[in-house]
Amino acid sequence: MKKYKIALIKGDGIGPEIIDEAVKVLDSVASCCGFDIAYTEAFMGGCAYDITGDPLPQETINISLSSDAVLFGAIGGEKWDNLPREKRPESGLLRFRKELGVYANLRPAVVYDELINASSLKPSIVKGVDLMVVRELIGGIYFGEPKGRDENRGWNTMVYTRDEIIRIAHQAFKIAMTRKKKVCSVDKANVLDVSQLWREVVIEVSKEYPEIELTHMYVDNAAMQLIRDPRQFDVILTGNIFGDILSDEASMLSGSIGLLPSASVGAKIGVYEPIHGSAPDIAGQGIANPIATIASVSMMLRYAFGEIIAADKIDSAIKRALSEGYRTKDLAQYDAKEVCSTSEMGSIIANYIER
Ligand code: NAD
């Protein structure tokens, strides 16, 4: 029997509650689909700081790098907000992504029919939206040199190398091959030299994927098109800063932060996590929505392990729970037949999988 090693990082706030439900669902899909999971728990964030004085202990990096994937909850909270910057949970998370070399951030935005009224856009615009933003994560203007400031000037440099563009482009094309086979590369090639190189290299890489329909769009137009007609997109491939902005914009199409998963992947390993934070305002009350984390498990099975049937089973079970009217408190105003707790939602989804 196949066995996958997973590093489990629950973190702070609602992190432990949502990860427990994700594990419940993962165990049920593993037993249905005939594979085994070995979990190793590791600590990160405020809880790790409280125990070790470091928000990212070396042991957590070691456990993660010796696993097949990392399932991550969320970190942070007011209790740690006044620590020196390098001791804060959020610094631990940035360091973690860098240590693991995760260069591609995958952010799907899916609009569930049952929650169409939760979107801030009209149902006629968002019905059927199912897109994925593939964002380069460890290059571009956030990391480029030179950068600096004096009293009267501030400067950053947007730089991409051919190799950085090649590896993120492959990632986007491979994902598109498992979807509708469309990639829209977003850049600012009418103004930026770095974007001209980006476009040239993306076109070169696309020759290895003849089945993919590749288009290009300037980022200002892409920001508008996402609101005007989001259904035109399948995979959006873009750099760090453009992806940062567009993926947040895309996430609002679905209307709820508690629904959206993400993956950050690299050559060695991937980190699978909800897009939301640790929600300290609702921690410990059993009302957090676990669906974003459960959907992150589906991404892990699909992209890290190639367990497509298992991933599809999770996605269908989530849809079924929503279509039968089960809602956690955050979505209670959208056609709820029954408002359930975090743990009840996990059990409902796990039961659908077992059936
Ligand atoms: P947040 O995402 O934690 O919460 C924003 C709002 O959404 C809150 O009202 C919260 O109750 C609600 N919410 C979030 N997730 C939910 C869920 N699953 N179900 C129901 N409601 C949910 O953002 P914030 O309040 O700005 O940040 C709180 C803490 O989380 C901060 O310390 C921040 O630094 C940290 N944070 C961590 C991550 C991460 O771990 N990747 C990401 C973002 C923020």
Select the CATH number that applies to the domain covering 1-115+253-355 from these four: 3.40.718.10, 3.40.50.20, 3.40.50.150, 1.10.3720.10: 3.40.718.10
- By annotation, the residues acting in catalysis are 142, 188, 220, 244, 248
33, 313 Cβ separation under 8 angstroms = yes
Q: pLDDT per residue over 137-180, tens digit each?
A: 989 998 899 999 999 999 999 999 999 999 999 999 999 999 99
Answer whether residue 98 shows pLDDT above 90: no
Q: How confident is the model at residue 355 (pLDDT cuts 50, 70, 90)?
A: confident
Does the structure show a pLDDT above 90 at 105? yes
Q: What is the pLDDT of residue 94?
A: 83
**Going by DSSP bridges, is the β-strand pair 69-74/182-187 parallel, antiparallel, or unpaired?**
unpaired
d(CA 89, CA 57): 11
Q: Is the pTM of this model over 0.85?
A: yes
Query: What percent of the chain has pLDDT above 70?
Result: 100
Tokens matching residue 288: 């957090």
- Closest ligand 1 atom number to CA of residue 279: 3
Predicted confidence at residue 58, as pLDDT, reads 97
Closest C-alpha to ligand 1, atom 4: 279
User: Is the pLDDT score of 256 beyond 90?
Assistant: no
pLDDT value at 255 more than 90: no
Q: CATH: 3.40.50, 3.30.310, 1.20.120, 2.60.40. Which one for 130-238?
A: 3.40.50
Mutate to test the pocket of ligand 1, among 10, 275, 276, 344 (most ligand atoms within 8 A of CB): 276
What confidence score (pLDDT) does residue 338 get?
Answer: 96
- What is the Cα–Cα distance from 96 to 58, expressed in whole angstroms? 10
Cα distance between residue 116 and residue 139, in whole Å: 35
146 CA → ligand 1 middle, Å = 33
Res 97 pLDDT > 90? no
278 alpha carbon – ligand 1 mean position (Å): 5
Radius of gyration of the chain (CA): 20
Q: What is the pLDDT of residues 15-58, one digit of tens each?
A: 999 999 999 999 999 999 999 999 999 999 999 999 999 999 99
Write down the pLDDT at residue 85.
85
- Going from the Cα of 258 to the center of ligand 1, the distance in angstroms, rounded, reads 9
DSSP E strands: which ranges in 275-348?
Answer: 326-327, 338-339
Is the pLDDT score of 257 beyond 90? Answer: no
Answer yes or no: is pLDDT of 87 > 90. yes
Q: What residues pair up with 236 in beta bridges, in sequence order?
A: 133, 184
* pLDDT number for residue 349: 98
Average pLDDT estimate for 253-265? 91
Nearest ligand 1 atom to alpha carbon 15: 40
Mean pLDDT, the chain, whole residue set: 96
Closest to 63 in 3D by CA, of 42, 86, 38 = 42
Taken in order 31, 32, 35, 37, is the CA torsion positive or negative? Answer: negative
User: What residues does each domain of the chain span?
Assistant: 1-115+253-355, 130-238
Residue 218 exposure: Cα atoms within 13 Å on the Cβ side = 7
List pLDDT tens digits, range 184-221: 999 999 999 999 999 999 999 999 999 999 999 999 99
pLDDT tens by residue, 112-140:
998 999 898 999 999 999 999 999 998 99
